[in-house]
Amino acid sequence: MTMDPATTPHLREELLSTVAVLKDSLERAQLNLDAALDAVINMDEAGQVTDWNRQAERMFGYSRDQAMRCEVAELIVPPVHREAHRQGMRRYMRTAKPTIIGQRVEVLGMRSDGSEFPIELTIAALIQNGTHFFCAHVRDITDRKRVEEHLRIAAVAFESDEGMVITDCDGVILRVNQSFSAITGYSAAEALGQSMNLLRSGRQDDSFYKAMWTRIRQAGTWQGEMWNRRKNGEIYPEWLTVTAVRAGQGEVTHYVGIFADITKRKAAEAEIQQLAFYDPLTNLPNRRLLTDRLKQALAGCARSHGAGALLFIDLDHFKNLNDTLGHDQGDVLLRQVAVRLKACVRDGDTVARLGGDEFVVMLLDLSENLTEAAAKAESVGEKILLALRQPYQFSQLTHHSSASLGVAMFNEASQSVDDLLKRADLALYQAKDGGRNTLRFFDPDMQAAMSARAGLEADLRLGLQEKQFLLYYQPQVDVQGRLTGVEALVRWQHPRRGMVHPADFIPLAEDTRLILPLGQWVLEAACRQLKAWADQSHTAHLTLAVNVSAIQFHRADFVQDVLATLELTGAPAARLKLELTESLLVKDVEDIIAKMMALKAQGVGFSLDDFGTGYSSLSYLKRLPLDQLKIDQSFLHEALSNPKDAAIASVIVTLGQRLGMTVMAEGVESRAQYEFLEREGCHHFQGYYFGRPAPVEALERFFSSSIHSHE
């Protein structure tokens, strides 16, 4: 090619300046490239790095020189996937059209130290002078990924079971979750832009909200129960937490409210409350709630100085109704009684059911004057009795009933709730005793008797623990006055009261069931004595009678206990005689017979004590496997002066003998009585005439002579 010489210098200059411009723009391009936030990596068709910018160096941790020896795949793919990736890249490069930027993909980048980081990758394919080359733009998206993850978690958390609402600083709703809509009934579209007042139920007054917002301003958060209103108008309880969100400077930008619908929990609480404090049959307060209210009332009396009254009410013969018409009808009656009682009192008064057919009415603030208060209580009491006397309508029939009522007054001087309940109970007891269908006030004399009894009971327990009991023995003799056996009679050697006789404590021991441990002690002590006698020839023939209370005998384990005691002590069963009273025989005759038979099979004998005084039925006399009848001493005392008593004594002797039993006369006090009995054919005797109950040593005189020594 030839060139015009004239134009050559000009051309050169132009060329030079073009080169300068090019160099300039290249340098600028390089600068731009290096300043870019993305890593820019050029590579050839084989995927080999041909050039990269500063950012790439920083991102991947290789020097430029090292990078030139790298394959792009080494930078952006973990080793295991590298081969697959290479193939993919080749395919992509073959098909990629020049200058068209490829798809953005998210892959992992790998630094020179082997650590991975998320990147976004775009590859552009270019053709220059017929050769392909490629330019990869790599963006480190670690931060973006982290933010995305947080958002994802936040989004999941936002859609929890609890309702959530975000408002601006003025309480305008910006966002709600699905649970918000489920609980309140407002869709997100309906709620957004509204004020939180949308949900106000009106159950809380302004002061409630004021206190709540003060708390939020001060502490940044508030938690508590709140009643809100659903879209359908229903009011519901929720447990709400409000938290203020503050910007950097500290001013509140948002509020976040999180709440749970606690309707179910509230209902459960209410049910528990109902069960714990109310009687399920009548829905009246139960003993617990009554006791609570009574406590409050007693405390209140001290302030108001007004006296109150406690009325104990018990339906007369309620058991009969239950037994004849069944418990269902009994329940119907109790419910009707509850309704009538409530109608007899004022709103502030309490009607409670203690259980069974026992109701209590508590009247408050009757009067400051106790007498006046008592008069008012009496008139309410009479009103109640009248109301309860009205016929009851059942589905099939009309039922008549009545009630007894005991009243105990209380004022600031009254001591404890327990005392008060006891007083009212005592008064009720008196009303029952007074013929029922009547009202009685608590009587302090009766209380004195009751507290004496309570003292005795406490002593009895202590006495048992401290072994204050002992056995006396009273001789039992035959016609010749020879000792045939003894009756064991318990005595209580009380540290203060002195020697206490059984009549003064056996009934109480029976009421309190302390007769069980006491009776067991008696049996064991008696059996030990029996064993001691059995071991000596001159006493081996003696029998020993032990009194058994009905409560002891009716215990399921009675037979077992007696046999175990015999075995424990080694006493001969055939010398043991159990004395039963007629009072024992009023129920479960079959069971009594079975128990007696079981013991008789082991040789134990049975005597019927105090015969003629109780429920003397000839039919059970015939059926029971008795060995002996004891004529009660009451017939004997008059036998000599009163021909009727003499006739009874005589008939009992004959009756016993004809039924194949021995007959023993107890309470024989004189020779005349003894001779009368002997004439009537009685062969066994016990009484002061032969010997008083005394410690075992007193029997010695019987052993020293076989001839009886009277007086």
The site partner of 412 among ligand C2E, Mg ion, none (C-beta below 5 to 8 Å per kind) is none
Distance (Å) of CA 502 to CA 40, 456, 488, 492: 115, 13, 12, 8
* 677, interface contact from Mg ion, ligand C2E, none, CB < 5-8 Å by kind: none
Packed helices 444-465 and 515-534: angle between N→C axes, nearest 10 degrees = 40
Q: Tell me the chain's radius of gyration from C-alpha atoms.
A: 53
CA 465, CA 260: separation in Å to the nearest integer? 59
CB of 280 to ligand C2E, least distance (A): 41
According to DSSP, the β-strands at 483-494 and 543-547 are: parallel
503 binds, among Mg ion, ligand C2E, none (CB under 5 to 8 A by kind): ligand C2E
- Burial class of residue 659 in the structure, from the number of CB atoms within 10 Å of its CB (0-12 exposed, 13-18 middle, 19+ buried): middle
Residues in 550-579 at the binding interface with ligand C2E, rule: CB under 6 A: 579
Return the DSSP state at 285: B
Sheet containing 221-229: give its strands across.
Answer: 173-176, 163-168, 252-261, 235-246, 221-229
| Helices assigned H by DSSP within 96-160 | 142-158
Nearer CB in complex with Mg ion: 176/578: 578
Judged by CB under 5 A, the stretch of 332-340, 341-349, 434-442, 606-614 that binds Mg ion is 606-614
The region that residue 251 occupies, defined by phi over 0 for left and psi between -120 and 50 for alpha, beta otherwise, is beta
| Residue whose CB is less far from Mg ion, 162 or 610 | 610
* 425 near Mg ion (CB under 5 A): no
Residue selected from 228, 282, 401, 547 as contacting ligand C2E according to rule CB under 6 A:
547
C-alpha triplet 682, 583, 667: angle, nearest 5°: 35
Answer yes or no whether residue 481 interacts with ligand C2E by CB under 6 A.
no
Q: Does 687 bind ligand C2E (CB under 6 A)?
A: yes
687 binds, among Mg ion, ligand C2E, none (CB under 5 to 8 A by kind): ligand C2E
* 489, 578, 608, 682: residue in contact with ligand C2E (rule CB under 6 A): 489
Does residue 607 touch Mg ion according to CB under 5 A? no
Q: Should residue 502 be labelled a site residue for ligand C2E when binding is judged by CB under 6 A?
A: yes
- 688 belongs to the binding site for ligand C2E (CB under 6 A): yes
Query: Token pair for residue 663?
Result: 């007959």
* Coil vs helix vs strand at 556: coil
CB of 710 to ligand C2E, least distance (A): 13
Q: How many residues bind Mg ion (CB under 5 A)?
A: 4
The Cα-based distances of 271 to 195, 225, 268 in angstroms read 35, 19, 5
Minimum CB distance to ligand C2E smaller for 341 or for 631: 631
- Only one residue has tokens 């007629």, namely 582
SS3 7: coil
- Whole-number minimum distance, CB 568 to ligand C2E, in Å? 18
552 is a contact residue toward Mg ion (CB under 5 A): no
Contacts of 354 (CB under 8 A, 6+ apart): 286, 287, 290, 360
489 binds, among ligand C2E, Mg ion, none (CB under 5 to 8 A by kind): ligand C2E
Q: Segment 308-337, which members bind ligand C2E (CB under 6 A)?
A: none
**Measured between alpha carbons, how far is 263 from 278 in angstroms, rounded to an integer?**
21
Judged by CB, which is closer to ligand C2E: 363, or 664? 664
- Angle of CA points 470, 472, 476, to nearest 5°: 155
Give bridge partners of residue 392 from the DSSP assignment: 399
112-131 residues near ligand C2E, rule: CB under 6 A:
none
Alpha helices in 390-514 (DSSP H): 417-433, 444-465, 506-511
CB distance 589 to 623 below 8 Å = yes
Work out whether 610 is an interface residue with Mg ion (CB under 5 A): yes
Interface residue with Mg ion among 459, 582, 609, 680 (CB under 5 A) is: 609
467: helix, coil or strand? coil
Taking the least distance from each CB to ligand C2E, the nearer of 42 and 549 is: 549
Q: Which does 549 bind (CB under 5 to 8 A by kind): Mg ion, ligand C2E, none?
A: ligand C2E
Contacts for 627 with CB less than 8 Å, ≥ 6 apart: 577, 605, 606, 607, 661, 662
474 binds, among ligand C2E, Mg ion, none (CB under 5 to 8 A by kind): ligand C2E
* Residue whose CB is less far from ligand C2E, 315 or 571: 571
Closest among 556, 546, 552, 554 to 522, alpha carbons compared: 546
Considering the complex, state which of residue 314 and residue 610 has its C-beta at the smaller distance from ligand C2E. 610
Closest to ligand C2E by CB, 304 vs 634, is 634
Q: Of 265-304, which residues contact ligand C2E (CB under 6 A)?
A: none
Rounded-to-integer distance, Cα 657 and Cα 256, Å? 99
Figure out which of the listed residues 47, 330, 605, 667 binds ligand C2E, where binding follows CB under 6 A.
667
Closest distance of CB 632 from Mg ion, Å: 6
- Closer CB to Mg ion, 162 or 632, in the complex: 632
357 binds Mg ion (CB under 5 A): no
Q: How far is the CB of 534 from Mg ion (least distance, A)?
A: 22
Shortest spacing between CB 529 and ligand C2E, in angstroms: 13
- For ligand C2E, the closer of residues 224 and 502 by Cβ is 502
Q: Does 411 bind Mg ion (CB under 5 A)?
A: no
Binding mask 607-646 for ligand C2E (x = CB under 6 A): --xx----------------------x-------------
Count the residues of the shown chain that bind ligand C2E, applying the rule CB under 6 A: 23
Binding mask 573-592 for Mg ion (x = CB under 5 A): ------x-------------
Q: Are 586 and 544 in contact (CB under 8 A)?
A: no
| C-alpha to C-alpha distance for 342 and 323, rounded to whole angstroms | 27
Q: Cβ closer to ligand C2E: 177 or 547?
A: 547
Q: Is residue 306 within the footprint of ligand C2E (CB under 6 A)?
A: no
User: Phi and psi of 27, rounded to 5°?
Assistant: -60, -40
Q: How far is residue 493 from each of residues 279, 397, 497, 692, measured CA to CA in Å?
A: 47, 59, 8, 17
The answer to whether residue 549 forms part of the interface with ligand C2E (CB under 6 A) is yes
Q: Which of 76, 164, 244, 522 binds ligand C2E (CB under 6 A)?
A: 522
Binding site for Mg ion (CB under 5 A): 547, 579, 609-610
Binding site for ligand C2E (CB under 6 A): 474, 489-490, 501-503, 506, 519, 522, 547-549, 579, 609-610, 633, 666-669, 687-688, 693
